[in-house]
Amino acid sequence: MENLYLTIVLAPLVGSIIAGFLGSRIGRVGAHSVTILGVGLSTGLSLYVLKGFVDGTLSAFDGPVYTWMISGGISFEIGFLVDKLTALMMAVVTFVSLMVHIYTIGYMADDEHNWPQESLAGRNAYQRFFSYISLFTFSMLMLVMSNNFLQLFFGWEAVGLVSYLLIGFWTVRESAIFANLKAFLVNRVGDFGFILGIGAIAMYFNSMDYQEVFAAAPALAHTQVQIWGDSSWSLMTVICVLLFIGAMGKSAQVPLHIWLPDSMEGPTPISALIHAATMVTAGIFMVARMSPLYELSETALSFVMVIGATTAFFMGLVGLVQNDIKRVVAYSTLSQLGYMVAALGASAYAAGIFHLMTHAFFKALLFLAAGSVIIAMHHDQDIRNMGGLRKYMPITWITFLLGSLALIGFPGFSGFFSKDAIIEAVHLSQVGGAGYASVLLTLGVFVTALYSFRLYFIVFHGKERMDDHTRHHLHETPAVVWVPLVLLAIPSVFIGWMTMESVLFGDWFKGVIHVAPEHDVLGQIGAHFHGQTNFVLHGMMAPPFWLAMGGLALAWYIYMMKPVIADYAMVRFSRTYRILEGKYGFDQFNMAVFAGGSRALGKLFWVTGDQGLIDGILINGSAQGVGRIAQRLRGIQTGYLYHYAIAMILGLVALLTIFVTF
């Protein structure tokens, strides 16, 4: 079994190395062939593994690959844990990655236009791009397949590295290299918490291995630790909150969400793969994986839920005022990640993972469809210049529509099942903050529908606002671009219906995700579950459905019937509009306080501390002091004999006086 799993992980890495190091030799076709071959192999094998788990022919695997190091009594291993959770993640990651690989052939075909003519870095940029996305696939697989905290952290930071490289892929753009530095640093703030969480685990569990830690966790459930003064904290709360800070960075939760909208500076394929479908869901995966720990701390669960719900609602609102097609989808991603996180807080881990899966398909679809629009629009991303595109690109139009319907949770579409399950789960949850979360998540449905269909109507319907030149060249994108759209549209529509019963209420996650009986909200929902049709019918009588329809209808009314309403609202609610447009001021605050503050502090330490106090006073000061004293003393050495004679006589007199008097 180990060889199979090693192949799944290493195939993309090999592809990446070949495309990266031999890019100029094997050319574009060579690079995309070899990487697609590698990822394709991984995808095939991952689906085989998933099927094995579905059929029951495979059982969970937990084994080491090699010992990274042994120090202080802890064995740090590299190893795989493949159970049903992992198998699901592997299938999602490799499948979306494969789609993105194929799509990229079309999207990056004209990439040389993005580079200055004389730039040598632009020569093999196409090959490099494939190398990076394959490297990403490797890193993400390492992350989800890990059986220990060390490798988890490795994968965690490695995906961050590739994200950094890809956001700044078009390195000539100042905005891109600003965004990638920002993304890396904000993620590092999260990792700061994460590594401390790992430190706590190393200290109290003396192990890095998941199974050992989970087995020992209940015994430590009531351990209290003192961090500040005498106030004591539950150890589990400390560990879970610290780990979750890492998840807040990676999965872009308030207030560490600020990097994700800017990450749209990267090429669209990676926005789909990394910043929508896979990497940003690493935090959700991690918390679900750690469910045996999170179940032991209601405080941590509350914290998780409140953060998630806040992100879900308030980031959705910002999506309403964006005019860049990718940024609308990016804010939508933030909001949907918030839903997943809130589900985790309600102990509905399965619902979080379920939404992660459906979202991976429909959000990758939306991003890739947006990319298709961007190609057609000659890389203009401003939706105010679009309109009526459905006539020119029917496949993109239909698939985008399907993705949007899945996103807003239209009954029967995949997003409907996953989102409804989350909302119901949070509604039933008893942990602190559940009431707050429940209200925000329900209202969020309306917001989601409004921004999604605002985007949809503005782009694909209504007046054609592009210039004549662009309109003249508008046409459907080539097959390498639209085939992945179609392939992603299929699961976006059907996967929810197909898998809901076993994933949410069945025994798919039995023994993998641990839920304490008193937190088992999904179990309560499952008790009343009587098949998908019933679930759909039931859902159509609940508020979220009507809110979604309301949002859709309002979007239709405003953007199709009475566009003046939008302008009127902008003026009437100008203050709210400005707050949303300013993204609640997070960016300004961070730039002024953290970026500016750090630089000011650095200057202060350097100029006042190092140069002023240490060098100026202590070092050079003492050197000058010695010099000055020497200067004075030198004055005594006049060289005149009578000066010395006088000194001798005075000395003699002084000594004699002393001898005589004492």
Partner 1 sequence: MHFAIPVLSLTIWLPIIGGLAVLASGDKAPNISRWVALSFSVLAFLVSLLLWTGFDASTAQMQFVERAPWIPSFNAWYHLGVDGISMPLIILTTFITILVLISGWEVISYKPSQYMAAFLIMEGVMVGVFSALDAILFYVFWEAMLIPMFIIIGVWGGPKRVYATIKFFLYTFFGSVFMLVALIYMYFKSGSYSILDFQALPLSLTEQIWIFLAFLAAFAVKVPMWPVHTWLPDAHVEAPTGGSVILAAIMLKIGGYGFLRFSLPITPDASATLDWLVIAMSLIAVVYIGFVALVQQDMKKLIAYSSIAHMGFVTLGFFIAFSIFARAGATGGVVMGMEGGMVQMVSHGFVSAAMFLCVGVLYDRLHSREISTYGGVIHTMPVFGALMVFFAMANAGLPGTSGFVGEFMVILASFQADFWYAFLAATTLILGAAYTLWMVKRVVYGPVTSEKVAGLQDANGRELLVLGILAVAVLALGLWPAPLVEVMDASIQNLVQHLAVSKLAVAPAAVAVLP
Footprint of partner 1 (CB under 8 A): 66-74, 116, 118-124, 153-154, 157-158, 161, 164-165, 168, 171-172, 174, 177-178, 181, 184-185, 188-189, 191-192, 195-196, 198-200, 202-203, 206, 225, 227, 598-599, 601-603, 605-606, 609-610, 614-615, 618-619, 623
For helices 149-167 and 235-250, angle between their N-to-C axes, nearest 10 degrees = 20
In the complex, least distance from residue 117 CB atom to partner 1, rounded to whole angstroms: 10
Give 467: exposed, middle or buried? Use CB within 10 Å, 0-12, 13-18, 19+: exposed
Least Å from the CB of residue 652 to partner 1? 36
- With a CB cutoff of 8 Å and minimum separation 6, the contacts of 592 are none
Q: CB of residue 568 vs partner 1: minimum separation in angstroms?
A: 42
The single residue listed with the structure tokens 């004492």 is 662
164 or 535: whose CB is closer to partner 1? 164
Q: Closest CB to partner 1 among 181 and 570? A: 181
Residue 146 per-residue DSSP state: B
Q: What is the 3-state secondary structure (H, E, C) of 419-467?
A: HHHHHHHHHHCCCCCHHHHHHHHHHHHHHHHHHHHHHHHHHHCCCCCCC
Instruction: Please tell me whether residue 119 adopts helix, strand or coil conformation.
Output: coil
Spatial separation of the C-alpha atoms in residues 136 and 158, rounded to whole Å: 8
- 160 vs 261, which CB is nearer to partner 1? 160
Query: CB 321 → partner 1: shortest distance, Å?
Result: 29
Q: Which residue has the tokens 């959000």?
A: 363
Question: Residue 178 or residue 556: which is nearer to partner 1 going by CB?
Answer: 178
Nearer to partner 1 by C-beta: 53 or 76? 76
Nearer to partner 1, 209 or 424 (CB): 209
| Helical ranges in 64-217 per DSSP H | 84-107, 125-145, 149-167, 174-205, 210-216
Q: In this structure, what is the dihedral angle of CA atoms 170, 175, 180, 183, given to the nearest 10 degrees?
A: -150
For partner 1, the closer CB: 112 or 518: 112
C-alpha span between 24 and 125 (Å, rounded): 10
Q: Which is nearer to partner 1, 37 or 202 (CB)?
A: 202
75 three-state secondary structure: strand
CB of 316 to partner 1, least distance (A): 29
Write down the least CB distance from residue 74 to partner 1, Å: 7
In the chain, DSSP finds a helix count (H) and a strand count (E) of 29, 4
* Closer CB to partner 1, 151 or 492, in the complex: 151
Least gap, CB of 266 to partner 1 (angstroms): 13
User: CA–CA separation, 328 vs 648, rounded Å?
Assistant: 94
Burial track 622-639 (b if 16+ CB lie within 10 A, e otherwise)? eeeeeeeeeeeeeeeeee
Q: Report, in this order, helix, strand and coil percent for the chain, each rounded to 5.
A: 75, 5, 20
Nearer of residues 201 and 264 to partner 1, judged by Cβ: 201
Question: What SS3 class is residue 484?
Answer: helix
Least spacing, CB of residue 622 vs partner 1, in Å = 10
The structure tokens 């994968």 sit at 155
Compute the least distance from the CB of residue 615 to partner 1, in Å.
Answer: 5
Contacts 24+ apart (CB under 8 A), 468-472: 470/377, 470/378, 470/380, 470/385
**Which of residues 124 and 271 has its CB atom nearest to partner 1 in the complex?**
124
Rg (CA), the chain: 31
Which are the contacts of 352, defined by CB distance < 8 A and separation ≥ 6?
284, 287, 288, 340, 341, 343, 344, 422
Q: Return the axis-axis angle of helices 543-556 and 434-460, rounded to nearest 10°.
A: 30
Closer CB to partner 1, 202 or 443, in the complex: 202
* Residue 116 Cβ vs partner 1, minimum distance, rounded to whole Å: 7
Beta carbon of residue 69, minimum distance to partner 1 (angstroms, whole number): 4
Minimum distance from residue 326 beta carbon to partner 1 (Å): 21
CB of 143 to partner 1, least distance (A): 11
> Shortest Cβ distance from residue 432 to partner 1 (Å)?
25
Of 160 and 308, nearer to partner 1 (C-beta) is 160
Question: What whole-number distance in Å separates Cα of residue 401 and Cα of residue 424?
Answer: 26
Q: Least distance (Å) from partner 1 to the CB of residue 85?
A: 22
Rounded CA-CA distance 40/18 in Å is 15
CA 250 from chain centre, in angstroms, equals 3
Residue whose CB is less far from partner 1, 138 or 451: 138
d(CA 635, CA 160): 67
Question: CA 435 → CA 26, 34, 245, 310, 596, distances in Å?
Answer: 58, 51, 23, 12, 38
Q: Which is nearer to partner 1, 593 or 614 (CB)?
A: 614
CB atoms within 10 A of CB 225: 15
